[in-house]
Amino acid sequence: PRRLVSIGRFVEQKGQLALIDAMARLRESHPDLHLTLIGDGPLRGVIEADVARLGLQGRITLTGWVDEARVTAELGAAHALVMPSFAEGLPMVVMEAMAAARPVIATYIAGTPELVQPGETGWLVPAGDVAALAEAMAALHDAPLPALEEMGTKARRRVFARHDVAREAAKL
């Protein structure tokens, strides 16, 4: 089974509701795709209700708030990070996933395209486009594991080349 993880506060701008709809679209074609939602917030009740309404209880896990060690473990157990946000700056969670050698499925917003290169380090989709999000998730699911590992390796190299702490501190 392929595992995705999404990390963030449960608020409208983070796009978890679109992510749940994308999982519902993949229910029949990709029954072994699993999503872990890490976080909590005002939309938790709505998210739980949507998961139940769509019959996705066995395919989506909500962890609530967890400590850094658990976030690291969940990211390590996942094949990729998915970040369906409508608004971000330069998302730290994307950098963390890439540093952990994980490909990323994210939206074309703010600084995300600086990091995520379609076909190289992950997939980019328009914000709010559930069909495109589901297609990217299906592509990740269908990709051979060595291809995902190569994308993860490229992601790691890219994030360290562009955001190395020592190099950035020296510039300052």
* CA 67 to each of CA 38, 74, 78, 91, 157: distance values in angstroms, whole numbers, following the listed order: 10, 11, 17, 19, 26
Sign of CA dihedral 32, 112, 95, 7: negative
* DSSP 8-state secondary structure symbol assigned to residue 120: T
Structure tokens at 24: 């519902």
Reported as half-sphere exposure (CB side, CA atoms, 13 A), residue 11 has a value of 6
**DSSP for 54-90, written as a single string:** TT-TTTEEEEES--HHHHHHHHHH-SEEEE--SS-SS
Position 31 pLDDT exceeds 80? yes
* DSSP 8-state secondary structure symbol assigned to residue 127: T
For the stretch 109-167, pLDDT in tens is 888 998 999 999 999 999 999 999 999 999 999 999 999 999 999 999 999 888 776 77
3-171: in CATH 3.40.50.720 = no
Position 168 pLDDT exceeds 70? no
Question: Residue with structure tokens 């890219």?
Answer: 158
Question: What type of residue is 114?
Answer: E
For the stretch 100-110, pLDDT in tens is 999 999 999 88
For the stretch 75-97, pLDDT in tens is 999 999 999 999 887 788 999 99
Domain residue spans in the chain?
3-171
Q: Select from 50, 35, 160 the least CA-distant residue to 105.
A: 35
**CA-to-CA distance for 39 and 87, rounded, in angstroms?**
17
Which pairing describes strands 104-107 and 122-125: parallel, antiparallel, or unpaired? Answer: parallel
Q: What's the confidence (pLDDT) of residue 166? A: 74
**CA-to-CA distance for 8 and 75, rounded, in angstroms?**
13
- Report the DSSP beta bridge partners of residue 89: none
